[in-house]
Amino acid sequence: MSNIGSYEERYKDFTWSVAEKELEFQPGKPLNIGWYCSDRICARGKGDKTALVWESASGAAKTYTYHDVRRLSNTFAVFLQGLGLKPQDRICLFMDKIPELYIGLLGIFKMGGIAQPLFSAFGDESLFVRLDNAQTSAVITQKKHAPKVRKILDKLPNLKHIIIVDHDGKAPLKDRDVAFSLEKADPVETFDAYPSEAETPSLLHYTSGTTGQPKGVKHVHYSLISQYMTARWVLDIRDDDIYWCTADPGWVTGTSYGIIAPWSLGVTQCVMDAGFSAEAWYKFIEKHRITNWYSAPTAIRSLMKAGDEIVKKFDLSSLRQLASVGEPLNPEAVIWSERVFGKAFLDTYFQTETGSIMITNYPDMKIKPGSMGKPFPGIRATVLDPKTYEPYAETGKIGLIGIRPGWPAMMRTYWNNEETYRKKFQNGWYMTGDRASIDKEGYFWFVGRDDDIINTGGHLVSPFEVESALLEHPAIAESAVVSKPDPINMEVVKAFVTLKPGFTPSADLDLEIMNFIRKKLSPLAMPQEITFSDALPKTRSGKIMRRILKAKEWGEEIGDTSTLEND
């Protein structure tokens, strides 16, 4: 039996006090995620239990107990304090999936800082926008990523320290550089965690925007309540499980369910810091006897592409619970996983702004392949009329997904952007920006984004951000960016550009522009295809009609073109 029992019974009488009681948290008392994910577990007699098993792409491996995590996160906290960093300072984690990233997050929480995890593949421009907006005080990084920070240092007066966790002592430290070795530092046995309260800020995650700069989503320590409970009931994590979440902590899944949830539950989790390979992934599951696996549809489709035969080479019998997040999980993937693993991947749905799972499939619940499932207990979700923001009376109609505010992991604001935050709420509902329908049994069915955000492999890319970067290339006069269908990633970035006089389209220029975006923003934002045009479709007021370009890519009706300037 799973942790959740009867969904209907749980949903009917659920309150978040269930999680508070299990975590022994009393409202009004201190609540520090760092303490809950390490010291509390040790105090319960699990200090010698393995907390983290880590492997690199080269095969290097490290294992940490909960006592190790407790001491090392204390060590991190003391080091950060020693640099003069204070509670509420924004401290960025800009690293690959190395142990310092996972343990460092707890260390930041313990000293009262606001952790700002950023994807290590970000280029200097993506990095600058986010560090500048947050007025970040310190960046914890690796020597291979430090040059990207140094490149923008002159534009970041608030950035006091670049903390390099793998400095070998050979190359001289540069301006604002600080060397720190978690392994060589004296371990700190005891540390009084900052007495953060439920509403004390904890995390700042950046999400893409369609018409403006990326937005900093502010979360608080009380988010732990949602993350703990959803991991227990949806991911069905039990005390003796070996858990693997493949998400990078640069994204919300990687922090909510790749650090906070498993460690608050006191289980062993495994991390592989390597690129995707079906053989490597299956080998990892077999070697560590993974029981609970939380991954993304893109990865699942890539595993499908690798075929059924490779699965037979490995003993994957340890797997008990499979779940998916980041984008819609197509029915074929659910059916395939049932066939090859003997169990289905359960589709789960949430956002950076929601902080924890909102709508989901459950253990012991009938699965409808392709469906998002039903709202988690404590979550009231529905589909709203886009014009009135009122719930539809009848089932089956496509509308906007709305969620009643008030769950613990809900964002508290967008950083320095309260106006945009308020616009996310209409008629008493949090507006997700996604469209769906609800069937007669209460299952939600995802239809698509209500804006132009590109969901490529579960990572959200802002067309605005890519378009802005494209215009910085010396050859480009105008740009428009849309999504294009892709069998593996669901959708990828496609760019339409017009060139300045003196430049002509060529394969070399095509490649040059792609690499320009890859270095400036990230590999995820790099256009997979570029179309050179003499002109882009515009309204009479001069606005580029991105909608028309996207409709053509997806084979959809173009719709009303009466406002086109040349119509």
What's the CATH code of the domain at 530?
3.30.300.30
How far is 325 from 333, CA to CA, in rounded Å? 13
pLDDT at 527: 96
How far is 482 from 45, CA to CA, in rounded Å? 53
Mean pLDDT along residues 202-217: 82
Same-domain status, 26 and 155: yes
Model confidence over 338-349: pLDDT tens digits?
A: 999 999 999 999
Position 564 pLDDT exceeds 80: no
Same-domain status, 189 and 95: yes
Here the tokens at position 553 are 């890519």
Residue 122 phi, psi dihedral angles, 5° rounding: -60, 140
Tokens 């980041």 found at:
326
Same-domain status, 326 and 471: no
pLDDT at 543: 62
pLDDT at 563: 43
Position 533 pLDDT exceeds 90: yes
Same-domain status, 365 and 489: no
Model confidence over 32-63: pLDDT tens digits?
A: 999 999 999 999 999 999 999 999 988 899 99
How far is 348 from 196, CA to CA, in rounded Å? 30
Q: pLDDT > 70: what percent of the chain?
A: 96
Higher pLDDT, 510 or 471: 510
Same-domain status, 94 and 237: yes
Task: Tell me if 371 sits within 8 A of 445, measured CB to CB.
Answer: yes
* Domain-located, residue 74: yes
How far is 420 from 417, CA to CA, in rounded Å? 6
Same-domain status, 468 and 342: no
Model confidence over 253-285: pLDDT tens digits?
A: 999 999 999 999 999 999 999 988 999 999 999
Last residue of a domain, one of 379, 401, 419: 379
* Domain-located, residue 130: yes
Task: Tell me if 255 sits within 8 A of 269, measured CB to CB.
Answer: no
Higher pLDDT, 37 or 329: 37
* Domain-located, residue 143: yes
Cα–Cα distances (Å) from 77 to 38, 40, 70, 116, 180, in that order, read: 13, 17, 11, 15, 12
Last residue of a domain, one of 379, 413, 443: 379
Domain membership of residue 293 as a residue range? 7-379
pLDDT at 561: 54
* Domain-located, residue 444: no
Give helix 297-306 / helix 278-288 axis angle, nearest 10°: 100
pLDDT at 207: 87
Last residue of a domain, one of 351, 379, 407: 379
Question: Would you tell me how many other CB atoms lie within 10 Å of the CB of residue 275?
Answer: 7
Q: Which of 379, 374, 444, 375 is nearest to 408 (CA)?
A: 379
Torsion of CA 183, 188, 189, 191, to 10 degrees: -140
Q: Is the pTM of this model over 0.75?
A: yes
Same-domain status, 107 and 245: yes
Same-domain status, 203 and 86: yes
Position 452 pLDDT exceeds 80: no
- The set of residues, in sequence order, having a beta carbon less than 8 Å from that of 49 and lying 6+ positions away, is 41, 65, 66, 266, 268
pLDDT at 462: 80
Q: What angle do CA 306, 307, 308 make, to 5 degrees?
A: 140
Mean pLDDT along residues 165-185: 91
Please, which pLDDT band fits residue 546 given cuts at 50, 70 and 90?
A: confident
Q: What is the CATH number of the domain that holds 50?
A: 3.40.50.12780
Q: How many domains does the chain have?
A: 2
* Domain-located, residue 188: yes
Residue 94 phi, psi dihedral angles, 5° rounding: -125, 75
How far is 247 from 481, CA to CA, in rounded Å? 26
Q: Tell me the average pLDDT of the chain.
A: 92
Helices (H), 83-222: 99-110, 124-134, 146-151
Same-domain status, 357 and 477: no
- The set of residues, in sequence order, having a beta carbon less than 8 Å from that of 242 and lying 6+ positions away, is 267, 268, 269, 270, 288, 289, 290, 291, 292, 318
Here the tokens at position 96 are 């690959």
Mean pLDDT along residues 401-409: 98
* Domain-located, residue 352: yes
* Domain-located, residue 306: yes
Position 173 pLDDT exceeds 70: yes
Same-domain status, 339 and 196: yes
Question: Would you tell me how many other CB atoms lie within 10 Å of the CB of residue 387?
Answer: 7
pLDDT at 4: 63
Same-domain status, 465 and 341: no
Task: Tell me if 218 sits within 8 A of 413, measured CB to CB.
Answer: yes
Model confidence over 461-486: pLDDT tens digits?
A: 888 788 888 988 999 988 999 999 99
Model confidence over 10-22: pLDDT tens digits?
A: 888 899 999 999 9
- The set of residues, in sequence order, having a beta carbon less than 8 Å from that of 221 and lying 6+ positions away, is 31, 32, 33, 109, 196, 197, 198, 199, 200, 202
* Domain-located, residue 563: no
Position 209 pLDDT exceeds 70: no
Position 567 pLDDT exceeds 50: no
